[in-house]
Structure 1
């Protein structure tokens, strides 16, 4: 759901991240503005919003048809639902990534990040849309390698299809933000060193997963908003440094040129780091390192320290939306 909302650096789904919430795989804005995105007019914003709402509606229709026609084939149905859900998150986030410089800043970008993370969470129940979230049961030995491998493959296929689809849409130049997008190469979402970027994505993934542990017993309609708020905060704190994506499939969809130019660096930062953060979640759940009686206290301590680190990053690098020295 890590993701909505979300493209980022200027806002990212849910998603975000890799938990059980679809919106978390989705939703920060990536730093496309670093490569020269121009501030949009109001009419262009409404065109982009209409396009994203149309994608959500189309995916919802396809999901309903799949549930009706493939109920006798649960494995195939689950695979198709995951593909459709990841497509929705990646397509919407690709469009959101063009709105990072929309005035007023950063209010518009953060509002869109939060809103679409909530939308993904409400419309994509049961989908992870994130390879990290799919791997989680595998680490605990609760599912087969083949089943999860197919689902991860479907997520990356959806990420590529979403990028191709958005390229076709951008070619039509329906909105002002679409002009010149196809001529851009790597948007350079990493505005810091590789080591710092790796640590930031790892940290954000850990914070996200630990928070999912805390809110998983909350009523779903409230949990979606809690996850969306967390993703928006992470986007605001580190969006200008890495994009705050913590979703391997979404990162690949947002920055394919970057992976092509510097595959090793980007795979370490946007694939390996979030997966390591997700492994931390599995360790907590299994109680391997700590008995259940002390897990809650230790979890709260880790979260407090992680929150301080996020605050330190924000103070060190400044507001990710208003610091024009990096654009």
Structure 2
């Protein structure tokens, strides 16, 4: 249980930091992109610890799959509550850009901040592992240079896995956008947990380019380009297809609806109806 207590303390510290940054920056809307940095930092930092529990927790700390799934759901739920207005996901920022909700410069700043947040979270996790507070973290520190990749299939299979998972996620995300946060946040957390658990033997279904960058790009086994095709191009492709299926068009690229056509009804004036009845 000491390993679990250490992990919970780590989660709490990361959440407090991210919440503090968001609270401070609410007064300066111009620097709202830094809130994306905090959101990405929180997500990647916590997910790295969950990944540690998945890899070595069962035989170093007695933490089984039920614990890891529960903790992942808790991380995603907490992230959704704390970072409500920001996603920490470049794919969702790009989705808003394609829907004409944000301009080019804010989009680029937000994406850059998300990747920077993922990088800083990686540095924090490595420093935390080096402290070797528990046996689990000592083993993780020894394995840090030879980590196991989350991509367990070929690049083509990985691309289609991420693409399909992103398609499902974004379709549901678009459908729930106008729902209350009390409904939307838990459902999204359940969905992401389910997709991650289902695809754990393929790509782990990160559906988040900056998250994948922080978690698995540094691991040997594949080149940077192969990782980028799977974890960057795959989610972007799935998101674009989801937007096209949901709206019938991509507003940033073309306005014409290619899939859904609205039927136009001819309205007959009331005077004409009365004349027809008399006849």
Indicate the TM-score class for this superposition, using the shorter chain for normalisation. 0.7 to 0.9
Q: 1-side partners of 2:177 and 2:98: how far apart?
A: 19
Partner-residue secondary structure (3-state), 1:246: coil
- For residues 56-78 of structure 1, the C-alpha deviation after alignment (integer angstroms, 9 at most, x for no partner) is 012212221222xxx2x4221x1
Q: 2-side partners of 1:86 and 1:259: how far apart?
A: 23
Partner-residue secondary structure (3-state), 2:218: helix
Q: 2-side partners of 1:292 and 1:45: how far apart?
A: 54
Number of equivalences: 248
Residue in 2 aligned with 1:109?
68
Identify the range of structure 1 (267-276 vs 143-152) with the bigger mean alpha-carbon deviation. Answer: 143-152
Match 1:75 to one of 21, 26, 30: 30
Is residue 217–residue 227 contact of structure 2 (8 Å, CA) maintained in 1? no
Identify the range of structure 1 (257-266 vs 109-118) with the bigger mean alpha-carbon deviation. Answer: 257-266
Is residue 140–residue 286 contact of structure 1 (8 Å, CA) maintained in 2? no
Q: 2-side partners of 1:82 and 1:196: how far apart?
A: 30
Residue in 2 aligned with 1:136?
95
Match 2:242 to one of 278, 281, 290: 281
Q: 2-side partners of 1:229 and 1:293: how far apart?
A: 34
Residue in 2 aligned with 1:291?
260
- For residues 86-138 of structure 1, the C-alpha deviation after alignment (integer angstroms, 9 at most, x for no partner) is 11111111111111143563211111111111111111110010010111122
Instruction: Report the alpha carbon displacement of residue 258 of structure 1 after superposing the two structures with TM.
Output: 3.1
Residue in 2 aligned with 1:319?
none
Residue in 2 aligned with 1:228?
189
2:40 is the counterpart of 1:86: yes
Residue in 2 aligned with 1:209?
170
Residue in 2 aligned with 1:121?
80
Q: 1-side partners of 2:175 and 2:25: how far apart?
A: 32
Q: 2-side partners of 1:45 and 1:212: how far apart?
A: 32
Q: 2-side partners of 1:192 and 1:186: how far apart?
A: 16
Instruction: Report the alpha carbon displacement of residue 168 of structure 1 after superposing the two structures with TM.
Output: 1.1
5+ long unaligned stretches in structure 2: 250-257, 264-279
- For residues 13-71 of structure 1, the C-alpha deviation after alignment (integer angstroms, 9 at most, x for no partner) is xxxxxxxxxxxxxxxxxxxxxxxxxxxxx21011111111111012212221222xxx2
Q: How has the CA–CA distance of structure 1 residues 47 and 139 changed in structure 2, closer, same or farther, with 3 Å as cutoff? A: same
2:228 is the counterpart of 1:267: yes
5+ long unaligned stretches in structure 1: 1-41, 295-327
Q: 2-side partners of 1:75 and 1:172: how far apart?
A: 37
Q: How does 1:171-210 map to 2 (within 5 A)?
A: 171-182=130-141, 183-210=144-171
Q: Which has the higher contact order (CA 8 A, sep 6+)?
A: 1
The 4+ residue runs of structure 1 with deviation greater than 6 A are none
2:48 is the counterpart of 1:97: no
Question: What root-mean-square deviation, in Å, do the aligned CA atoms of Structure 1 and Structure 2 show?
Answer: 2.0
